[in-house]
Amino acid sequence: MTTVLALDYAAALIFALSGALAASRAQLDLVGFAFLASLTALGGGTIRDVLLDRNQVFWMADPTPLAIACGAAVVVFFTAHLLESRQMVLTWLDALALPIAVAAGVRAATELDQSVPIVLLMGVATGCFGGLLRDIVSNEVPLLIRPGKLYVTAALAGAGTALLSASLTSNPLVPVLACIAVTFVLRAGSLAYGWRLPAYKPRPPRS
Amino acid sequence: MTTVLALDYAAALIFALSGALAASRAQLDLVGFAFLASLTALGGGTIRDVLLDRNQVFWMADPTPLAIACGAAVVVFFTAHLLESRQMVLTWLDALALPIAVAAGVRAATELDQSVPIVLLMGVATGCFGGLLRDIVSNEVPLLIRPGKLYVTAALAGAGTALLSASLTSNPLVPVLACIAVTFVLRAGSLAYGWRLPAYKPRPPRS
Amino acid sequence: MTTVLALDYAAALIFALSGALAASRAQLDLVGFAFLASLTALGGGTIRDVLLDRNQVFWMADPTPLAIACGAAVVVFFTAHLLESRQMVLTWLDALALPIAVAAGVRAATELDQSVPIVLLMGVATGCFGGLLRDIVSNEVPLLIRPGKLYVTAALAGAGTALLSASLTSNPLVPVLACIAVTFVLRAGSLAYGWRLPAYKPRPPRS
């Protein structure tokens, strides 16, 4: 199994759990869970593959991620009532899936010998668009635009770390792991400790 | 004319009427009606064709569905004021277009010899994404995520029926008609009589 | 540099400024500004290129528009506090970018010898989808569906003007400039003086 595929599988699983939780908040039925889980799990990688014009979208060449997403939907359907706060679990699952999906996007673009800005962007897009679609379709304010949290910033930092570490070592797993670690630490630190970059703050015009 | 094309035409017409009604609710002008009608009419099939990497998106090879959508927009623009409840007519037009679009998606994927999960997904995607785009762009809660109604479930059941009946008969029209019938009956029964699958219900955690 | 590319650059710059202003309204950080600026700047042209199946999406063949969008995001991040009304500036930047993007879409489709309806649609889609994505992702009511304003109408009129003037002159710049002028005048007149087409008005049913 290729590295991109393994990462796509792992990201699909965790994003699918978050999508199914969004479906539980919207009180959908089991098929609704599977739909929102699949959309979240496959959305980012699909947009990446369409943009990169890869031979086939990853889950059409091999529908395993689709099966993973549906399985995750079933599990969440029967267990979500055990959770204290579905919104918090959703947010943390999203925080776990984001780094893996960023690594998958960086890796897929690197294998196609794309330029540095495109590799960065594919990392960010693969990471961010699945959760964005989940939030838009389930009619919630996207996690990505919640003020005062690192989201796209964490994804971009992770993608940059992957590129940097790829130039320092020939071991192909190092960039993957470094990307996941940096993205997750930034996103988790932002959620847990409020880490953030300076946000735009309206100030009175200079007089 | 191929079967897929005929189904795409019919789904385009009915989805366009629903999109134009959404435009009337948003008080747009005639071109706004045509835009929202076209987006609804062509959205699902476009996503299907991009994912399947078909030679050309269906309405670019032959712009008839675009003309149909614009014609439907004109008709609705001058007649929508005659309706008692635009939201109810919109919902029922959507319920009529969904089954036809599901059949078109299943058929298009079958003709490209896709695997069973991909065929099912293409049916669901072709059916659901047009209405989803309409609802998101017109800033409404998507019909698809309204709790307690069969929507994706009806689409999936119809797509499954198409596959099943295709294995039982060689007449290519049987799967199409069976798919439309099953999807419509489930969706209509859900709207009229409240048919539904068990939805996720929050229960207190086990103590 | 080709005309399409020059137009894509210009539209990217101005749309990016509008996207960055949307990010400032959502109080994002600098990377959030760059994300929303890039989505707005590249969204319309990306959808056009995917639909037209052009060899490569324009900003992947040449990432300059991406750099332009990120530069615009930085500028807005440090200057948006100087503005009296960000929403008004956003609306007018959008009104300026729309005509240029419509011209880019018309031109790109014309160069691929597409039929008249497809050329018109590509103009409208390239013009409208960037701003639509910006508004949906930043959780605002899309400018495009605000009642009583010319938006899609202005885009369509501009695209039509481009086609008409292309048949009257062999100078390839005339259609571009005519398209930009007509689209901008209609959109600006709508914003400043309330120009509009008759909108759908609910009337009581005939008795």
The torsion defined by the Cα of C174, C179, C182 and C183, in degrees rounded to 10, comes to -160
The distance from CA A88 to its chain's CA centroid, rounded to whole angstroms, is 16
pLDDT interval class at A203 (50, 70, 90): low
Contact A31 B142 (CB under 8 A): no
- Chain B partners of C206 at a C-beta cutoff of 8 Å? 82
Write down the pLDDT at residue B202: 63
Write down the pLDDT at residue C204: 52
Write down the pLDDT at residue A108: 92
> How many angstroms separate the CA atoms of C182 and B186, rounded?
49
ipTM of the prediction: 0.90
For residue C29, give the 3-state DSSP assignment. Answer: strand
Write down the pLDDT at residue A130: 95
Contact B27 C153 (CB under 8 A): no
A103 neighbors A158 (Cβ within 8 angstroms): yes
Residue C31 has its nearest CB partner, among A142, A156, A202, at A156
- Chain C partners of A197 at a C-beta cutoff of 8 Å? 29-31
Judging by beta carbons within 10 Å of its beta carbon (0-12, 13-18, 19+), is residue A204 exposed, middle or buried?
A: exposed
Residue-wise pLDDT tens digits, A43-84:
999 999 999 988 789 999 889 999 999 999 999 999 998 888
Contact A117 C23 (CB under 8 A): no
> How many angstroms separate the CA atoms of B141 and B136, rounded?
7
Give the bridge partners for C29, in sequence order: A199
Contacts of B171 (CB under 8 A, 6+ apart): none
Residue-wise pLDDT tens digits, B57-116:
999 988 999 999 999 999 999 999 888 889 999 999 999 999 999 999 999 999 999 999
> How many angstroms separate the CA atoms of B120 and A81, rounded?
29
Min distance A104 CA to chain C CA atoms (Å)? 18
Residue B199 has its nearest CB partner, among A29, A137, A139, at A29
Min distance C103 CA to chain A CA atoms (Å)? 23
C9 neighbors C62 (Cβ within 8 angstroms): no
Contact B145 A136 (CB under 8 A): no
> How many angstroms separate the CA atoms of B98 and C56, rounded?
33
Min distance B197 CA to chain A CA atoms (Å)? 6
Residue A147 has its nearest CB partner, among C27, C46, C77, at C27
End-to-end, the C-alpha distance of chain C in Å comes to 63
> How many angstroms separate the CA atoms of A38 and A65, rounded?
8
Q: For chain A, give the mean pLDDT.
A: 91
Write down the pLDDT at residue C65: 94
Residue located via tokens 């990016």: C16
Q: Give the residues of chain B that fall short of pLDDT 50.
A: 205, 207
Write down the pLDDT at residue C203: 57
Contact C63 A197 (CB under 8 A): no
Contact C27 A128 (CB under 8 A): no
Contact C150 B29 (CB under 8 A): yes
Q: Which residue of B has its CA nearest to A47?
A: B51
pLDDT interval class at C3 (50, 70, 90): confident
Write down the pLDDT at residue A137: 94
Residue B196 has its nearest CB partner, among A26, A29, A137, at A29
Which pair of tokens denotes residue C162? 């481009």
Residue-wise pLDDT tens digits, C50-60:
999 887 899 98
Listed by start position, the domains of chain B span 3-193
Neighbouring chains of A at 3+ CB pairs under 8 Å are B, C
pLDDT interval class at C112 (50, 70, 90): very high
A173 neighbors C3 (Cβ within 8 angstroms): no
Min distance C53 CA to chain A CA atoms (Å)? 9
For residue A3, give the 3-state DSSP assignment. Answer: helix
- Chain A partners of B205 at a C-beta cutoff of 8 Å? 81-84
Contact B136 C136 (CB under 8 A): yes
Which pair of tokens denotes residue C183? 């689209």
Interface of B with C (CB under 8 A): 23-24, 26-36, 38, 46, 50, 56-57, 60, 63, 66-67, 77, 80-84, 136-139
Substitution target in B24, B40, B137 with the highest count of C β-carbons within 10 Å is B137
Q: Taking the CA atoms of chain B, what radius of gyration do you get in angstroms?
A: 17
> How many angstroms separate the CA atoms of A41 and C153, rounded?
37
Substitution target in A152, A187, A196 with the highest count of C β-carbons within 10 Å is A152
Q: For chain C, give the mean pLDDT.
A: 91
Mean pLDDT of C15-24: 95
Q: Which residue of A has its CA nearest to C83?
A: A205
Which pair of tokens denotes residue A76? 């969440």
> How many angstroms separate the CA atoms of B35 and B20, rounded?
8
Neighbouring chains of C at 3+ CB pairs under 8 Å are A, B
Q: Which residue of B has its CA nearest to C117?
A: B63
Whether residue C156 is predicted with pLDDT greater than 70 in this model: the reply is yes
A103 neighbors A162 (Cβ within 8 angstroms): yes
Whether residue A148 is predicted with pLDDT greater than 90 in this model: the reply is no
The torsion defined by the Cα of B141, B142, B144 and B149, in degrees rounded to 10, comes to 30
Interface of B with A (CB under 8 A): 50-53, 114-115, 117-118, 121, 124, 128, 132, 136, 141-142, 144-145, 147-148, 150-153, 156, 196-206
Residue-wise pLDDT tens digits, C180-194:
999 999 999 999 999
Closest CA to B103 of B184, B188, B186: B184
Mean pLDDT of A105-127: 94
> How many angstroms separate the CA atoms of C110 and C118, rounded?
9
Contact C31 A152 (CB under 8 A): yes
Residue C32 has its nearest CB partner, among A117, A118, A152, at A152
Alpha-carbon distances of B73 from A174, B36, C122, rounded to whole Å: 56, 9, 19
